[in-house]
A and B are shown apart, each in its own frame.
Chain A
């Protein structure tokens, strides 16, 4: 069974700090990796996706992928209270079209 693991948190960071969210996955055949943000009572919304090893930056967000270690992370620079949410890591294998989600990490950014 394919597994995607995240620390459930909460991860608490002060406003302006860097938040680091981590995710490991079990299926070496995984090819696509996604980070979703979910506010309480709302549906998940896509923040970033990454396909290749290395870093991918988009504004205050950076996704990092290391396929050899089966590890993907999301860095949020200059964290804001509005970033407080649950962050879901999702993984897709190349042959299939289904996303497997981790349990999510709850982030709290304190003013």
Chain B
């Protein structure tokens, strides 16, 4: 157990509303990631963080923002949710720069 907790686990929201997903880790790891998973596309990187207030964009960052004010928390915000953002979102951490990633349980987000 990599000590990763995602919240909420499920959420239904309306188009145009803001949504924030939270990833909390208990291991004090430096590297954290947000992925989305859609049928036929596998896991695609949205944003990642190398430390507090150190974030960067991934492959599919449009429409998403992130914040990391504490080592243990990495927040993903959809400023104005769209139906194309309906997906399963996974948070991941890597203990060091060169090791494998460990994933949280996922958040299933539906935008109606």
Contact = CB atoms under 8 A, between A and B. Distances in A.
B94 interface: yes
B43 A44 contact: yes
A103 B41 CA distance: 5
B90 interface: yes
Interface string B39-59: 011111100101000000011
Nearest to A92: B98
A99 B50 CA distance: 14
A39 B69 CA distance: 33
Contacts of B104: 43
Contacts of B98: 32, 92, 97
B42 A103 contact: yes
Interface string A68-111: 00000000000000000000101010000111111110000000
B74 interface: no
Contacts of B102: 46
A40 B11 CA distance: 19
28 contacts: A6-B42, A34-B100, A34-B101, A42-B105, A43-B90, A43-B103, A43-B104, A43-B105, A43-B106, A44-B43, A45-B103, A46-B100, A49-B100, A88-B42, A88-B43, A90-B101, A97-B31, A97-B50, A97-B94, A97-B97, A98-B33, A98-B45, A98-B48, A99-B45, A99-B92, A99-B101, A101-B42, A101-B44
Interface of B: 31, 33, 35, 40-45, 48, 50, 58-59, 90, 92, 94, 97-98, 100-106
Given A34-B101, A42-B105, 13 more contacts: A4-B42, A8-B40, A43-B103, A43-B104, A45-B103, A46-B102, A49-B100, A97-B98, A99-B45, A100-B45, A101-B43, A101-B44, A104-B42
